[in-house]
Amino acid sequence: MRIIAGTARGRRLSSPGSGTFDIRPTSDRAREALFSILAQEVVGARVLDLFAGTGALGLEALSRGAESAVFVDKGHPAVSLISKNIQLCGFWEKSVVLQRDLTRSLSFLQPHATACGFSLVFIDPPYKTLLAEPIILELGKGEIVSPGGLLVAESHSKGRLPAEIPLFSLVDKRVYGEAGFWFYRKMDSRELKIYHRAN
């Protein structure tokens, strides 16, 4: 597993040992395809990497020009692995690592979102948990995600996520092997004002 492009291109990342703990890294092939789609969306982005696992998605974003990244996972082994990979890439000044259970309130993220909110969010829960939709709903609360921000939820390629989630619209879906990527765009500032007036 490696960083594919950018300032840390070619840097090898530490992977979870077999049988040590439950982490399913996004394959290099799927990650390369994903970031080809994201293109300039990454440059200057304030990234949130949920169920971060190895941290590969957030680190790839930092390598390609993201401004900052917050990595969240509930397991201590995962948090240690993320921290090690941040060190390997030399991105500590741009990174924050949090050990939290994402099945509970996400309000703890608000102080880390700054006044602008996160502009690019990766959501990669274990495929069998079906947590992507409730996490997106929770992210709609407060100002964790910036107006117009992009969410990328990964699920099994045969999985299904709704086309409409309050405050978010499905704008694309791509499949690479067993990985399915669902792209949701949050309403922009004008749309949010209209929505809140009506609700």
- Domain 28-198 in CATH 3.40.50.10470? The answer is no
- Give the tens place of pLDDT for each residue, 144-176: 999 999 999 998 877 788 888 888 999 999 998
Torsional class of 111: left (φ above 0), alpha (ψ -120 to 50), beta (otherwise): alpha
Q: pLDDT band at residue 120, thresholds of 50, 70 and 90?
A: very high
Is residue 32 classed exposed, middle or buried when 0-12, 13-18 and 19+ CB atoms within 10 A define those classes? middle
Task: Decide if pLDDT at 35 tops 70.
Answer: yes
Separate counts of helices (H) and strands (E) for the chain: 5, 8
Task: Decide if pLDDT at 196 tops 60.
Answer: yes
Q: What is the mean pLDDT of residues 41-55?
A: 95
Task: Decide if pLDDT at 73 tops 90.
Answer: yes
Task: Decide if pLDDT at 22 tops 80.
Answer: no
Instruction: Report the distance separating Cα 49 and Cα 79, nearest Å.
Output: 12
H or E element at residue 121: strand 118-123
Q: What is the mean pLDDT of residues 20-43?
A: 81
pTM of the model: 0.91
Instruction: Report the distance separating Cα 44 and Cα 188, nearest Å.
Output: 18
Task: Decide if pLDDT at 124 tops 60.
Answer: yes
Q: pLDDT band at residue 23, thresholds of 50, 70 and 90?
A: low
